[in-house]
Amino acid sequence: MLVDIEIDAREQTPSWIAYGTPLFAIAAALAVSVVALVAIGVNPIAAYVEMFLRPFGTVATISNVLVRATPLILVGLGVYLPMKAGLWNIGAEGQLLAGAIVGTWIAINVTLPQLLVIPVILFGSAIAGGLWAFIPAWLRAKWGISEIITTLLFTFIAADIQLYLVRGPMQGGSGGFPQTELLPEAAEFPAIPGTRAHVGLLVALLIVVLVYVAMNRTRFGFRVNFVGSNADAAEQAGMSRYRVYLLTLVAGGALAGLAGISEIAGNQSRLHASFAPGYGYTAVPIALLGRNGVFRMLLAALFFALLFVGGNRVTVAMEVPSAIIDIVQALVILFLITAEFFQRYRLSVSIGRRDDGRSIRGTEVTTDD
């Protein structure tokens, strides 16, 4: 018996598929994860309720999701924007670190009233993140050197600089631990009243709107989309690939830099050696899931935050090791990204013999010899 699979690109994605597949993908991932949960004797329904519903229980738990989401939205944008131009900002983590370092330095060393110092901190972090992306951006734009490699390698440099700074020149607090002083109160991002979410979230949402407008209502956005879908055609049409590459990657770096400082000044209050466990890498699947529109990217970032916060809730409420939660999270992400494929391609499967004859002809040739 022969199974024949044909894959065709969809010209148009029916709306039930566009909206239904993410939900179906999550459901399918959770169904598969049941195996892991049952294997360690945990009631999967209770685990899923804890993971996906309980985080919406109170203002405090919703705050936790929003606090987690804030840097993810910003750094997600930092990957999303270059992705629109066809670039892979795999090293957003490094730009995030650069923003966190410079922002923390300004916060500790510049004394200004809160209304002034916070914009200065934000500005400094954005510049730092942007500069960290500039060299890979220029190398890509000018010489075509893969930004995937260079941004990633720049991350290692940033990580080593950060480690050096927090145990050396910027080390603070007693005990000689690799961390800085606490940020002064004026530099801490104020909380949104009634919640623990902070102004970083408002900044992130504002930028989401700005990016939406820029991408959909401006000539710049048109160029980025054009270069992203077909760079050669865009050049033919007289657009500067060089400028688009440079601008989107540097802007992406600036956004990642903002993510870094918003996590420090909004949540952690000081820069630790290990303050950002891979936000820059998490941003890649977030941008990938949301690449069809910036509001989708926002949803993806919120969903990832829910996955992280909810995952922690399960390990607390039940005897579930974090490795099992990692499996659930990874399956959800894997299914979501796979589902993207089905939105864009049509799959037709036919089962049965087909009189293709190619293989038969092949055997005939060998027997003739």
Partner 1 sequence: MSRKKLTRRNAIRSAGVLGALGLAGCSQLSGGGGGDSDQLQAAFVYQTSLGDVGWARAHENGRQAMDDSFDWITTEYSDGVPGNEVRSVFEQYASSGYDIVYGCTTEYQDPMLQVAEEYPDVTFEHCNGFETAENMGRYMGKFYQGWYLCGVAAGHLTESDTLGMVVPIPIPQIIRQINAFTLGARTVNEDATTKVRWLNGWADPSGARQAVNAIADEGADAIGSNMVTPAALQAATEREAFNFGVNTSMADQAGEYYATAQINNWAPFYKQSAKDVRNGEWSSDSLWGGLETDIVDIDDFGPKVPDDVVSDVETKRSEIENGERSVWTGTKFEGWSDAELFSDVGSYVEGVEGSVPSS
Residues that bind partner 1 (CB under 8 A): 60-61, 64, 68, 160, 163-164, 167-169, 171, 173-179, 182, 263, 267-270, 272-277, 308-309, 312-313, 315-317, 319, 321-323, 325-326
Taking a C-beta distance cutoff of 8 angstroms, is the pair 255, 77 a contact?
A: yes
Least separation in angstroms between CB 19 and partner 1: 30
Identify the three-state secondary structure at position 232: helix
Least separation in angstroms between CB 36 and partner 1: 15
32 class by beta-carbon count within 10 Å (0-12 exposed, 13-18 middle, 19+ buried): middle
Least separation in angstroms between CB 222 and partner 1: 38
Least separation in angstroms between CB 85 and partner 1: 30
Least separation in angstroms between CB 51 and partner 1: 13
Q: What is the distance, to the nearest Å, from the Cα of residue 270 to the centroid of all Cα atoms in its chain? A: 23
- What is the per-residue burial (b if ≥16 Cβ within 10 Å, else e) of 231-251? beebeeeebebeebbbbbbbb
Least separation in angstroms between CB 322 and partner 1: 3
Nearer to partner 1, 171 or 225 (CB): 171
The torsion angles phi and psi of 5, rounded to 5 degrees, stand at -120, 125
For residue 336, give both structure tokens. Answer: 């979501």
Least separation in angstroms between CB 147 and partner 1: 26
Nearer to partner 1, 28 or 317 (CB): 317
Distance between CA atoms of residues 338 and 336, nearest Å: 5
Nearer to partner 1, 73 or 294 (CB): 73
Residues 6+ apart with CB under 8 A from 144: none
Nearer to partner 1, 89 or 267 (CB): 267
Identify the three-state secondary structure at position 30: helix
DSSP string, 162-220: HHHHHHTTT--SGGG-SB-PPPPGGGSPPBPTTSS-BHHHHHHHHHHHHHHHHHHHSHH
Terminal-to-terminal C-alpha distance of the chain: 28
Nearer to partner 1, 28 or 163 (CB): 163
Nearer to partner 1, 164 or 341 (CB): 164
Distance between CA atoms of residues 79 and 271, nearest Å: 23
Nearer to partner 1, 85 or 97 (CB): 97
Residues 6+ apart with CB under 8 A from 353: 1, 2
Nearer to partner 1, 90 or 170 (CB): 170
Least separation in angstroms between CB 256 and partner 1: 16
User: Sign of the CA dihedral 58, 298, 146, 98?
Assistant: negative
Least separation in angstroms between CB 314 and partner 1: 9
Distance between CA atoms of residues 82 and 146, nearest Å: 13
Q: Which of 174, 167, 203 is nearest to 66 (CA)?
A: 203
DSSP string, 177-188: -SB-PPPPGGGS
Nearer to partner 1, 13 or 61 (CB): 61
